[in-house]
């Protein structure tokens, strides 16, 4: 009946809550036919009711709520304060404490006012920048621009707003001109007779390119429908519950599903809108368009036909609408009329198929260090197909990569979870089971209920050797569950930023259509709502605090608050009783101490830490000079200060990474996959964090680990038993 995160399908308590919610709503919502223009009102009513009954920590809809939702909405539609004036804001402000009434009364007056005013102001702003860029700018005036838009006041009136646009454009032009001047200087240094392009010509080119960029941006914005803007209004409201509660329009829900599963059905091409044309940007390796070898990057799509139907001219059509016409069920045919890169017109027939977005999936590599062979598995997210459990998922893929690395006879494995934003809870629980014997992995708690322990019931351990888990500030949610379980069991060493992101909440995705007995509006989209919190098996929450690394390595943002702590509506940290579990080892004190000593004496890490402090010191420096001479001097001073930090990007660790044999076979017919792997390996050759992780693996010899496990089993653990 409902389509929610797969883990919830086996949690009968939550299912009962949702079923009860549905029953209430079926009697609550109107059953008679409602006009289509009432869809927005129904969405307001539906979302507020579901959140009140289904959210983990429902909040009171009052004036304080209204003030926060109002501010969030205005900031979302004009984040850089280049559209609305203070006069507009004064007019809007009478609704600042009435968002609660708007939700309860389903009153769209405020939204209609802001939407219509925004459309008017955006049309005016296009005229403003077009006129300003039509003639040369004066770069001799002593002016500055504050780029901290959040703290910047709104322009008092239209005249001041035009002046703000002028300053914003000046900054853009100065950046472009000085970049072009550097290129000219480089050409002159290589060729003595080269005639440097004069400033006036560079300024003219900069104005032209800036206008083209703005026109393309406005073309994209023009494709947003009233429904898209209303979604922003709804999200300003629902995100007041917490940062991870979010409304998905039908199109956004489709994109979310693809991002989680890593798969979709279509031709396997990434498209981009340029002016009125839709251009092929990239062919996804292995997809039907890539296999057909007729489409190529740079081709422009002119018409789309379904099977033998008449082709439809797509000029001027929204990009999302073009994508809808090209995507379709596996086995069906689409015909594209394209203008090739060489200017010829060609009709290309493609049979749609399932496409895997390869960048989403786990991948592994082998590297040798100090005469030992190690493996590294990179996992960008804990993906799963909610619709079909037989399809590819992160647990199965990582298990397969482990087997391949074992066949390659590696002595240790790194699991790289840097920038991994999370994903499926069920998947991460099973994945932890690849590295531990049976036992609890994570605790999950719904509001007003006792915690539920989610265990790994399988006593089999797929990888018993040395393990290092790499994390950073942006390792979140499921990544934190994995790292926390590995840390609590003392199964491996966590290395990375001081702490991970700090997202300790669980969301369910509710299909809104399920709550209506009759629906005359079509697809209403979905609501991702926080319904539970998860806790480590040691009882602590990862909310706000994240997982603290065993080995902290300096990073560029070490002194800047990032993660859940930065979110205005983040839920609080708390703790519950620990689950009974037995650590795998007595600990890694010796190996951690060795690594910390290496890091402390490493000149590259010292430079990274110095860079982090420098970045932190500059974070409040938001005033930029707009006089050419001042700006150029400012940039020169900045370059001088950052010269020493260029060594961070130029660093090479001297390691050689190799793909496994099965991939090397694929390279013979898949040049794109080969190129992607070469780029990944090149990135790792510049990565000091991977290098130190390999040093830790080298310290964690198989013999050391076996001795620790053996000693651990001798300890009395009668009072600590694994959860069955």
477 is catalytic: yes
364 included as an active-site residue: no
Which DSSP string corresponds to 478-527? HHHHHHHHHHHTT-SEEEESSB-----EEEEEEEGGGG-SS-SS----EE
Per the CB < 8 A criterion, the answer to whether 691 and 599 are in contact is no
- Alpha carbons 682 and 676: distance in angstroms, whole number: 10
3-class secondary structure, 4: coil
Q: Of the residues 242, 353, 488, 550, which is catalytic?
A: 488
What is the torsional sign of CA 254, 256, 259, 262?
A: negative
| 488 given a catalytic annotation | yes
Active-site choice (66, 477, 479, 693):
477
With a CB cutoff of 8 Å and minimum separation 6, the contacts of 553 are 495, 496, 497, 599, 605, 689, 692
CA dist., res. 538 & res. 532, Å (int): 18
Strands 300-306 and 363-369: unpaired
Query: Taking Cα atoms as reference points, which of 562, 594, 584 lies closest to residue 698?
Result: 594
Report which of 582, 544, 570 is spatially closest to residue 719, judged by C-alpha positions: 582
Pairs from 665-673 (Cβ < 8 Å, separation ≥ 24): 670/285, 670/286, 672/283, 672/285, 672/290, 673/285, 673/286, 673/358
Alpha-carbon span 437 to 439, nearest angstrom: 6
Structure tokens at 1: 């009946």
The neighbour count for residue 315, using CB atoms within 10 Å, is 10
Exposure string for 697-708, b = 16+ CB within 10 A, e = fewer: bbbbbeeebeeb
Catalytic residue (one of 263, 430, 503, 533):
503
Question: Are the beta carbons of 252 and 246 closer than 8 angstroms?
Answer: no
Residue 132: strand, helix, or coil: helix
State whether residue 374 is helix, strand or coil.
strand
Active site amino acids: 477, 488, 503
């Amino acid at each position: 009946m409902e389509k929610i995160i797969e883990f919830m399908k086996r949690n009968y308590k939550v299912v009962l809550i949702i079923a009860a919610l549905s029953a209430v709503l079926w009697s609550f919502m109107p059953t008679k036919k409602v006009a289509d223009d009432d869809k927005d009102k129904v969405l307001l009513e539906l979302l507020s009711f579901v959140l009140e009954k289904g959210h983990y920590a429902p909040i009171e809809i009052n004036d304080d709520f209204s003030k926060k939702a109002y501010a969030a909405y205005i900031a979302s539609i004009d984040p850089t304060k280049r559209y609305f004036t203070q006069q507009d804001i004064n007019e809007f402000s009478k609704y600042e404490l009435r968002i609660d009434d708007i939700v309860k009364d389903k009153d769209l007056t405020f939204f209609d006012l802001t939407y219509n005013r925004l459309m008017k102001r955006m049309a005016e702003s296009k005229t403003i920048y077009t006129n300003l860029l039509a003639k040369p700018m004066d770069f001799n005036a002593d002016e500055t621009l504050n780029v901290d838009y959040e703290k910047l006041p709104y322009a008092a009136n239209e005249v001041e707003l035009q002046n703000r646009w002028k300053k914003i454009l000046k900054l853009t032009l100065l950046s472009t001109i000085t970049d072009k001047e550097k290129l000219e200087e480089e050409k002159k240094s290589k060729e003595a007779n080269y005639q440097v392009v004069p400033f006036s010509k560079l300024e003219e080119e900069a104005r032209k390119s800036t206008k083209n960029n703005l026109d393309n941006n406005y073309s994209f914005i023009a494709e947003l429908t009233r429904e898209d803007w209303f979604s922003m209004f709804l999200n300003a409201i629902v995100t007041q519950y917490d940062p991870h509660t979010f409304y998905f329009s039908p199109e956004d829900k489709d994109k979310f599903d693809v991002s989680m599963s890593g798969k979709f059905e279509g031709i396997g091409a990434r498209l981009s809108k340029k002016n009125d044309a839709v251009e092929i940007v990239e062919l996804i390796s292995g997809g039907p368009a890539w296999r057909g070898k007729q489409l190529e990057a740079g081709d422009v799509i002119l018409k789309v036909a379904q099977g033998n139907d008449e082709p439809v001219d797509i000029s001027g059509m929204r990009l999302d609408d073009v994508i809808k016409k090209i995507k379709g069920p596996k086995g069906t045919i689409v015909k594209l009329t394209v203008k090739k890169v060489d200017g010829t017109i060609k009709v290309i027939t493609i049979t749609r198929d399932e496409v895997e977005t390869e960048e989403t999936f786990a991948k592994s590599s082998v590297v040798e260090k100090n005469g030992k062979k190690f493996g590294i598995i990179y996992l960008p997210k804990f993906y799963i197909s909610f619709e079909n459990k037989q399809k590819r998922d992160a647990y199965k893929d990582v298990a397969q990569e482990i087997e391949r690395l074992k066949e390659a006879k590696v002595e240790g494995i790194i699991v790289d979870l840097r920038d991994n934003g999370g994903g499926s809870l069920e998947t991460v629980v099973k994945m932890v089971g690849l590295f531990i014997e049976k036992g609890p992995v994570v605790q999950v708690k719904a509001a007003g209920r006792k915690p539920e322990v989610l265990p790994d019931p399988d006593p089999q351990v797929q990888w018993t050797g040395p393990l290092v888990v790499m994390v950073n500030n942006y390792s979140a949610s499921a990544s934190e569950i994995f790292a926390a379980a590995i840390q609590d069991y003392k199964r491996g060493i966590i290395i990375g930023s001081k702490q991970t992101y700090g997202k300790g909440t669980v969301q369910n995705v509710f299909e809104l259509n399920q709550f209506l007995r009759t629906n005359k509006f079509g697809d209403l989209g979905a609501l991702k709502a926080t319904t539970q919190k998860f806790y480590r098996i040691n009882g602590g929450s990862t909310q706000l605090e994240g997982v603290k690394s065993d080995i902290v390595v300096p990073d560029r943002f070490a002194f800047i608050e990032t993660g859940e702590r930065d979110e205005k509506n983040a839920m609080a940290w708390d703790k519950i009783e620990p689950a009974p579990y037995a650590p795998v080892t007595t600990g890694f004190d010796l190996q951690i101490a060795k690594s910390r000593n290496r890091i402390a004496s490493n000149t590259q890490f010292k430079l990274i830490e110095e860079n982090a402090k420098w970045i932190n010191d500059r974070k409040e420096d938001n005033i930029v000079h707009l006089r050419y001479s001042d700006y150029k001097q400012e940039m020169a001073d900045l370059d001088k200060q950052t010269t020493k930090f260029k060594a961070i990007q130029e660093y090479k660790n001297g390691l050689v990474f190799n793909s496994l044999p099965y991939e090397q076979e694929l390279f013979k017919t898949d040049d794109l996959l080969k190129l992607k792997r070469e780029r990944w390996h090149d990135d790792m050759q510049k990565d000091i964090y991977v290098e130190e992780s390999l040093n830790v693996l080298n310290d964690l010899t198989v013999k050391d680990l076996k001795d620790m496990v053996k000693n651990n089993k001798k300890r009395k653990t009668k009072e600590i038993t694994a959860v069955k």
